[in-house]
């Protein structure tokens, strides 16, 4: 595995691979790698000749009251995990490398951000698309891999790629979970012992939502109310939202056809957890498949 910190050296390395091999799979991360990230790398390894992973805690994604300084970091551990996962190139730039000067042109997301986490994270997805645009230009991947746990991010990225004709396929990878169903996340380390026992209720509530929708016995509004009741009664956290939308458009659900996402967010004392489930429904309202 080659570790690169300079974008100029990365460009040179990418050009070598472009000249000699086929596809490049790209896994952008903010580090503190866990099994979710490694699953993305594994999928990239299966589908591409070269796997590139980036580790960069992007300051543009964090608001003034968010946890940029607290965001967990462990570069030495990340390097070892990435190499064991079969990553060929690990790109670890610093902020000065990615943002050498004040931006003269900025990117602003207008759609798919006024719901879910985007409602309270003004500017967050502007930061996401800005850094991804830079990384996509540098890495020139055939495919880029994103976990469905951050479904709103996938929706925004797919919109950016479509709008600006980026020659990259966005690959959705199912959420990686602990044995009890909790979605793996770098922020899980901030849960107290009692909160950790409660946290699997998020996924439990989503599975019940899927069953209720598939049964055809409850409207989406009724399902949302039921999920909120479960979260409020079985966790000590504050329920920030329980919402249902079409996916990836993230628009109100008029009828139960196509992809429908049920998403939740719960704020515990020191950790904010999100989770979702995506149901693919046919024209009769019956589930054709279930994405987790």
- Catalytic annotation, residues: 37
Alpha-helical segments (H) within 85-199: 95-98, 124-139, 151-163, 193-198
Task: Say whether 30 counts as a known binding-site residue.
Answer: yes
Task: Say whether 137 counts as a known binding-site residue.
Answer: no
Residue 247's alpha-carbon distances to 193, 197, 210, in angstroms, are 34, 30, 15
Task: Say whether 36 counts as a known binding-site residue.
Answer: yes
Whether the CB-CB separation of 269 and 244 falls below 8 Å is answered with: no
Task: Say whether 150 counts as a known binding-site residue.
Answer: yes
Q: How many helices (H) and strands (E) does the chain have?
A: 9, 10
Closest CA to 154 of 46, 263, 54: 263
In angstroms, rounded to a whole number, what is the distance separating the alpha carbons of residues 238 and 231? Answer: 9
Task: Say whether 120 counts as a known binding-site residue.
Answer: no
Task: Say whether 187 counts as a known binding-site residue.
Answer: yes
Angle (deg, nearest 10), helices 151-163 and 124-139? 60
Task: Say whether 37 counts as a known binding-site residue.
Answer: yes
Residue 273, strand partner residues? 266
DSSP 3-state percent helix, strand, coil across the chain (nearest 5) = 40, 20, 35
In angstroms, rounded to a whole number, what is the distance separating the alpha carbons of residues 224 and 209? Answer: 8
Task: Say whether 159 counts as a known binding-site residue.
Answer: no
Whether the CB-CB separation of 14 and 24 falls below 8 Å is answered with: yes
Task: Say whether 176 counts as a known binding-site residue.
Answer: yes
Eight-state DSSP code of residue 183: B
Task: Say whether 149 counts as a known binding-site residue.
Answer: yes
Task: Say whether 237 counts as a known binding-site residue.
Answer: no
Whether the CB-CB separation of 13 and 88 falls below 8 Å is answered with: no
Task: Say whether 184 counts as a known binding-site residue.
Answer: yes
- In 3-state terms, what secondary structure has residue 276? strand
Task: Say whether 181 counts as a known binding-site residue.
Answer: no
Q: Which residues are annotated as a binding site?
A: 30-37, 61, 147-150, 153, 176, 184-187
Q: Which residues are annotated as a binding site for (R)-pantoate?
A: 61, 153
Q: Which residues are annotated as a binding site for ATP?
A: 30-37, 147-150, 176, 184-187
Q: Which residues are annotated as a binding site for beta-alanine?
A: 61
């Amino acid at each position: 595995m080659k570790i690169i910190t300079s974008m100029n050296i990365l460009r040179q390395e990418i050009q070598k691979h472009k000249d000699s091999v086929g596809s490049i799979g790209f896994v952008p991360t903010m580090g503190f790698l866990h099994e979710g990230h490694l699953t993305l790398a594994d999928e990239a390894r299966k589908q591409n000749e070269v796997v590139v992973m980036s580790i960069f805690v992007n300051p543009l994604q964090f608001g003034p009251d968010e946890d940029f300084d607290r965001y967990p970091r462990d570069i030495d551990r990340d390097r070892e995990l990435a190499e064991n996962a079969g990553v060929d190139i690990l790109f670890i730039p610093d902020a000065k490398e990615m943002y050498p000067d004040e931006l003269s042109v900025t990117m602003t997301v207008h759609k798919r951000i006024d719901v879910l986490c985007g409602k309270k994270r003004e500017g967050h997805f502007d930061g996401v698309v800005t850094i991804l645009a830079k990384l996509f230009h540098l890495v020139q991947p055939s495919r880029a891999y994103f976990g469905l746990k951050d479904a709103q991010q996938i929706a925004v990225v797919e919109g950016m790629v479509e709008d600006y004709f980026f020659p990259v396929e966005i690959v959705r990878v199912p959420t990686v979970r602990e044995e009890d169903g909790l979605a793996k996340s770098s922020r899980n380390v901030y849960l107290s012992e009692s909160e950790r026992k409660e946290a699997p209720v998020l996924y439990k509530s989503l599975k019940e939502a899927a069953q209720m929708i598939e049964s055809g016995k409850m409207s989406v509004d009724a399902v949302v109310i039921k999920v909120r009741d479960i979260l409020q009664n079985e966790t000590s956290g504050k329920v920030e939202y329980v919402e249902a939308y079409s996916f990836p458009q993230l628009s109100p659900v008029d009828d139960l056809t196509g992809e429908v996402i049920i998403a939740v967010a719960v704020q515990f004392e020191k950790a904010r957890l999100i989770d979702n489930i995506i149901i693919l429904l046919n024209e009769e309202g019956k589930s054709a498949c279930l994405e987790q």
